Amino acid sequence: MLKNITIGQYFPGDTIIHRLDPRVKLLATFAFIIALFFINSFYPYILVVAFILVAIKLSKVPLNYVLKGLKPLILIISITFLINLFMTKGEILFEIGPLDVTKEGLIQATFMALRLIFLVMGTSLLTLTTSPISLTDGIESLLKPLSKVGVPAHELAMMMTIALRFIPTLLEETDKIMKAQMARGADFESGNIMNRAKSLVPLLVPLFVSAFRRADELAMAMEARCYRGGENRTRMKELKFEKLDFIALSITAVFVAIIITYRYI
């Protein structure tokens, strides 16, 4: 299940989506996420599905590769659905033991589940189609105005990118440690949720040791390549907006405008 997490992974390619300016993809992703929280009916989700499917098609990332990133979150999505289903008051449709299922609860639970699903798909598509260097440059460029008030834009962007890209590394290490301990007789799959959670405790120490070792190796690799952060750092490829970027921003703006407008009409 750990290998199914796609957030933080990069899917190499030379497509329209891959060639977009990273700033455009970051802004489009933020706008997409914001638009999701404005949806209060089912019809706008038709537009959301069309928007995300077209983006995936243009990126040439296999749909099942994007969807497999949802597998590790099935439990979280299910819990969120059930909490909203049973905790939202309104017109009672039927009862399950002492719990009431209301019309409003069913609608709210469905909205929350869909919101989480598309949020994960949107952010996964961002990292799958943007290389680590481009993502760092894009975040730094967007944060650059904050440098005037003393915020270290480059260092902050680098930390955010490394943290994001470190997710697959940590998951890979976790999977290796689990397999090694299972070969020695450890059991991570039997018992209830609490027992499974307790069985994961022995993973923490070797996982932290491995994480620190990987971080040290990364630091030495960056120093060996004479990496120096700061304002005078040059780039192999300077960011600049192209015609395609303006088209993508315009389409995203229209998408968000339709979603927001539909909420208030």
Q: How far is Cα 218 from Cα 208, in angstroms, rounded to an integer?
A: 15
- pLDDT tier at 3, thresholds 50, 70, 90: low
Give the position of tokens 């709210």.
Answer: 108
- pLDDT tier at 29, thresholds 50, 70, 90: very high
pLDDT in tens, 192-251: 666 666 777 777 888 888 888 888 888 888 888 877 766 666 666 778 889 999 999 999
Secondary structure (3-state) at 22: helix
Secondary structure (3-state) at 95: strand
- Residue 91, burial from CB neighbour count under 10 angstroms (0-12, 13-18, 19+): exposed
Q: Residue 52 to residues 28, 120, 197, 210, 217: CA-CA distances in angstroms?
A: 11, 11, 35, 36, 37
pLDDT in tens, 84-115: 888 888 888 888 878 888 888 888 899 999 99
pLDDT score recorded for residue 6: 64
Q: How far is Cα 142 from Cα 22, in angstroms, rounded to an integer?
A: 10
- Per-residue three-class SS string for 104-167: HHHHHHHHHHHHHHHHHHHHHHHHHCCCHHHHHHHHHHHHHHHHHHCCCHHHHHHHHHHHHHHH
pLDDT in tens, 245-261: 999 999 999 999 999 99
pLDDT in tens, 132-171: 888 888 888 888 888 788 777 778 887 877 877 777 777 7
